[in-house]
Amino acid sequence: MPTISDGITKAEKKSKNRDHKRKLEDPEPELVVESKKDKKKKKEKVEPPQEIVNGNEILNGSDELSEKKKKKKKKQKKEEEEEGIKNNGGEVEEVRETEDNVVVSGKDINDSKYKALSSFSESKLSEELLECCKNFSKPSPIQSNSWPFLLHGRDFIGIAKTGSGKTLAFGIPAMNHILNKRKNKPTKKVTPLCLVLSPTRELAQQIFDVLSEAGKPSGVRSVCVYGGTSKGPQISALKSGMDIVVGTPGRLKDLIEMGVCQLQEVSFVVLDEADRMLDMGFEPEVRSILSKTSSVRQVVMFSATWPLAVNQLAQEFMDPNPVKVVVGSEDLAANHDVMQIVEVLEDRARDERLVTLLEKYHKSRRNRVLVFVLYKKEASRVESMLQRRGWKVVSISGDKQQRARTEALALFKDGSSPLLIATDVAARGLDIPDVEVVINYSFPLTTEDYVHRIGRTGRAGKKGVAHTFFMKENKALSGELINVLREAGQNVPANLLNFGTHVKKKESKLYGAHFKEISADAPKATKITFDSDED
């Protein structure tokens, strides 16, 4: 039993002795309470000496230090840029630019396995898959730079204009993905492994035609689903077993809700013309559809522009480090192979001027001419007006049944009726060969759509003409149009300048910022390299 002496037991005394010994070996810092006077002295000691210049206090030595830091930081940044490396959110992102004006960015892109292809054979794909490429001498820039990444399972963002071969750029890797999956995991019931989303029926049908033909040698089967036509044949095709589903968001969502389109095994997803889909208000449907696909998937997005809404979608559904390939420029710019002519007209003068231009550009009545209007009713009215005047013409618009739209487009493509009136349903994505002239009877709602409209001509290295009617009702877009004309080295009419050259500085929710203001005396655009990022 421990005895008590002065109210402390032997055990407690022993413990106190241990604590005292520990403090001697490793003493705790003393708590120092500073007086106001001490604090003031300390502050004066830390602060650099000051001097008075013109009544203002400046810090001696601190400016020199700041300048040294700036120079050091600038030098470091320059070295990083020369090496093609930049820091992006903590991840090292590499950048490389090819000779054919293609910029590739992303993580680990300089690995030898991602080297751009100079020939189809370098892809080491089977003869069946490459059968559809036999008429091409070599891969297009978007194909040669995308295939190495897509064939190795990387998530991918492609910024490229239509007509650049992007359908096969994602189509061939998609079919290779399917064949590998089927080989490793044979199944009796064939459910889709690949999904391609498109904003319009015409573009969906065009993608389907390319993939169907390309998939024949290897036995990859595709189905196309879109609204405006009976669901019966589409449901039958899905039930028979398909590898690839190509469709528009609205009809696809309907078929999913009906339980006839199962996407849970889809592990290769493509969003073509992603910006246009969101512009058309399909964002809720797109999100809903993507959530029905496999959680382990490869996602590919193609877009002509890269607006904020598409970027957010990419961040949500793609790998944190996707590869991005930009063919040409990420800024929206008109095709330099198209001669752009802009006329400022009154509304009532447009019909007569259109007929005059057709007598000039469509004199043979055999060459393809595409006339764009803004509204569905306007398409019908202009078509009727031209028919009354003896022109053989067809039209496509949202008012027409899908069968009539498909038939009109087929007649235009095969040259049976080479004069076509169309709304912006034909402005994007459609690969219509040998369109010599585009006439904008009505200016579109955005300058982005103007660039896409005139991009229907001047394709595959050929020259084209775009003749545009501009009215005072369109004056809010005059500055943007003037910039597009100047950037392409085109003539700007004086009466268009009268509407003003101002471009409202804003970040569009859908498009972001695309246009640079170019002064009236601006020289022709040339590529320049900056030595630093000085403000």
Closest CA to 200 of 275, 288, 292, 299: 275
Strand partners, 302: 158
Task: Locate the DSSP E strands across 213-291.
Answer: 222-225, 244-247, 268-271
- Mean pLDDT value of segment 59-64: 45
Query: Could you write out the DSSP letters of every residue in 85-111?
Result: EEEETTEEEEEEE-TTSEEEEETTTTS
Determine the Cα–Cα distance for residues 342 and 424; give it in Å rounded to an integer.
Answer: 19
Which is it for strands 419-422 and 368-372: parallel, antiparallel or unpaired? parallel
3-state secondary structure at position 515: coil
Q: Per residue in 88-143, pLDDT tens?
A: 444 556 888 776 678 899 898 888 899 999 999 999 999 999 999 988 889 988 99
Strand partners, 474: none
For residues 424 and 449, is the Cβ–Cβ distance under 8 A? yes
Q: Which domains does the chain have, with CATH numbers?
A: 86-327 (3.40.50.300), 338-497 (3.40.50.300)
Q: Does the structure show a pLDDT above 90 at 220?
A: yes
Q: Does the structure show a pLDDT above 70 at 462?
A: yes
Closest CA to 432 of 448, 446, 453, 402: 453
Q: Does the structure show a pLDDT above 70 at 518?
A: no
For residues 273 and 429, is the Cβ–Cβ distance under 8 A? yes
- Rg of the Cα trace of the chain? 32
Q: Does the structure show a pLDDT above 70 at 339?
A: yes
Look up residue 524 and give its two tokens. 């022709």
Q: Per residue in 258-282, pLDDT tens?
A: 999 999 999 999 999 888 888 778 8
Q: Does the structure show a pLDDT above 70 at 233?
A: yes
Task: Locate the DSSP E strands across 277-417.
Answer: 298-303, 323-327, 338-344, 368-372, 394-396
Which residue matches tokens 């689903």? 225
At 506, the pLDDT band (50, 70, 90 cuts) reads: very low
